[in-house]
Amino acid sequence: MYKILLVEDDFALADAMKKQLESYGNEVHCIQDFHNVTGEFCRIAPQLVLMDIMLPFRDGYYWCSEIRRISNVPVVFISSAFDNMNIVMAINMGGDDFIAKPVDPMVLIAKVQAVLRRTYELSENAALMEFRGAFLNLGDSSITYQGQRIELTKNEFRILQTLLENKGKIVSRDTLMTRLWQDDCYVEENTLTVNVARLRKKMEEYGLKDLIVTKPGRGYMLAE
């Protein structure tokens, strides 16, 4: 199930699209406050945004650019202005796809599923590890969680990867230190504690709280 934010001021159309998307198992939220689309986006934390271009107060291009300041979550534009200029503008403003009005229900589902699949699902070309709704990308050392992209340092990535490889098990401090500093002859043991603390703090800032559990005298493990 994916969480989708629908930014559409034609409420009859929004309701029809919501029902269609929910029939495929998605959770859909329709914007109510068109003065504060970014605030609604942050509150809902969707994994996909469907954005009309012509909106009250500010157009969809503006809100897409505002979302792009804080998130790489995919944005699909919806508009009756289905011409090359608007399509190019939508892509240049950070959009991932474009759906023409009147919206064909099957085109809607096909495009939404394609964008979600490209962004989040496992594929032969994307090595991902999943835990508690977060995806660790082994290719670029980042995490995707609720539409947010989290950049990790080399050490943060290695710590999390090692813990994910040993889900349900305690990973000793010696194992982690060897994984992180295998080429160094001597490293202060407190350095690992500092790195784990930084990783915990970063995860908490993005809503992933109590991710890593300390097992005194033994090591660390991921919280169930």
Return per-residue pLDDT of the chain as tens, 224 residues: 789 999 999 999 999 999 999 999 999 999 988 999 998 888 888 889 999 999 999 999 999 988 888 777 889 999 886 666 767 776 777 788 888 889 999 999 999 999 888 877 644 444 677 788 788 887 778 888 887 888 888 889 889 999 988 888 999 988 888 888 764 444 566 788 888 999 999 999 988 888 899 999 899 999 87
Residue whose tokens read 């990867």: 161
pTM score > 0.95 for this model? no
CB 133 within 8 A of CB 145: yes
